[in-house]
Amino acid sequence: MSGKLRTYSNNIFIALSRLLNAILGGNPSLTLSARAGLNYRKGQWSQQRRLINTMFWLQQDHCEFAIRLDTDRNQQALRDVYRENRAFVTSTTSQRHQND
């Protein structure tokens, strides 16, 4: 599988996992795996975590790994929004000063 196709299919899978998590009443910013990992830390969702980790048997603890991945993705998204907003504000401000 090519790099672009792998990235695309991975993004689709993440989006579906987040959608499923939201449908089940969870935070739409988290995948179902990350939710299972976080709930397991609170002493809940032991069976769900075990099932998900079994599905992703190639990773040692997929749910714990998913927490870190979701956190990293959300932080990157915030940085991207901040950078784009900052560029927009800068260009808008400079245009306003040119019109004065």
pLDDT tier for residue 93 given thresholds of 50, 70 and 90:
low
Least confident of 9-23, 33-47, 48-62, 72-86: 72-86
Neighbouring residues of 59: CB distance < 8 A, sequence distance ≥ 6: 53, 65
CA distances from 58 to 6, 52, 78, 80 (A): 17, 11, 30, 31
By C-alpha distance, which of 80, 70, 77 is closest to 26?
70
| pTM assigned to the model | 0.78
